[in-house]
Amino acid sequence: MNLDFSQIVPYIPFILEGIGATLKFVSISIVMGFVLGTLLALCKITKLPFLKGFAVFYTSMFRGTPLILQLMIIYFAVPQLTGYDITAFLSAVLAFGLNSAAYISEIIRGGIQAVDRGQTEAAEALGVPYKPMMLNIILPQAFKNILPAMMNEFITLTKESALVSTIGYLDLMRRAQVVGSDIYRSFEPLIFVALIYWVMVYLLTVAGSLVERRLRQSD
Partner 1 sequence: MIKADKITKVFGKNTVLEEISTTVHQGEVVTVIGPSGSGKSTFLRCLNLLEVPTSGEIFMNNNEITSSKVNKLEIRKNIGMVFQHFHLFPHMTVLENVIYAPQKVKGLDKSTAVESAKKLLAKVGLTDKEDSYPNHLSGGQKQRVAIARALAMEPEIMLFDEPTSALDPEMVKEVLDVIKDLAKTGITMVIVTHEMNFAKEVADRVLFLDQGKLVEEGKPTDFFQNPQSSRAKDFLDKVL
Which residues of the shown chain bind partner 1 in the complex (CB under 8 A)? 116, 118-119, 121-122, 124-129, 132, 136-137, 140-141, 144, 215, 217-219
Cβ distance to partner 1 smaller for residue 95 or 150: 150
Distance, CA of 62 to CA of 94 (rounded, Å): 12
Judged on CB neighbours under 10 Å (0-12, 13-18, 19+), 2 is exposed
Q: How far is the CB of 117 from partner 1 (least distance, A)?
A: 9
Task: Determine how many CB atoms are found less than 10 A away from the CB of residue 12.
Answer: 12
Distance CA 106, CA 136 (A): 20
Nearer to partner 1, 13 or 127 (CB): 127
Give the contacts of 63 (CB within 8 A, at least 6 positions apart).
Answer: 102, 103
Distance of CA 48 to the CA centre of its chain: 28
CB closer to partner 1, 107 vs 123: 123
Compute the least distance from the CB of residue 134 to partner 1, in Å: 12
Helix pair 12-44, 139-160: axis angle to 10 deg: 140
CB of 129 to partner 1, least distance (A): 6
User: In the complex, what is the shortest distance from the CB of residue 3 to partner 1, in angstroms, rounded to a whole number?
Assistant: 53
Whose Cβ is closer to partner 1: residue 20's or residue 132's?
Answer: 132
What is the closest distance, in whole angstroms, from the C-beta atom of residue 132 to partner 1 in the complex? 5
Q: Which is nearer to partner 1, 66 or 132 (CB)?
A: 132
